[in-house]
Amino acid sequence: MKSLRFLKYAGIAILGVAFIFLAIFVTMSLWNWLVPELFKGPELSFWQTAGLFLLSKILLTGVAPGGRSHHPRKYWHNKYHEKYRCWPHEKEEETKEQIV
């Protein structure tokens, strides 16, 4: 049973790595097709494109896991549900009528 679970996770990991390599290859191909011709920019190798991917991940989402450092999503989810959990039924109907 454990060997099947290992194979399942190994297969998912292999697919994940293959997807990353495919995304890098597609990005490299698009870059090398468009940028040198349109902007007279350089052509990139596979590993330069991989570095660009990593740099953009760091700059756009940060290095923290999940990319969120202050308030996790659950905080806002709980705050919303706490506010509207005990709404009277009449107020709900009134709000629906105002929307329509």
- pLDDT of 3 higher than 80: no
3 state DSSP class of 86:
coil
C-alpha distance from residue 85 to each of 26, 78, 89, 95 (Å): 47, 10, 11, 15
Average pLDDT, the chain: 82
Domain ranges across the chain: 2-99
- pLDDT of 46 higher than 90: yes
Tell the residue number behind the tokens 């293959």, with chain if given: 18
Give the pLDDT confidence score for residue 77 in this predicted structure. Answer: 75
Quote the percentage of the chain above a pLDDT of 70.
74
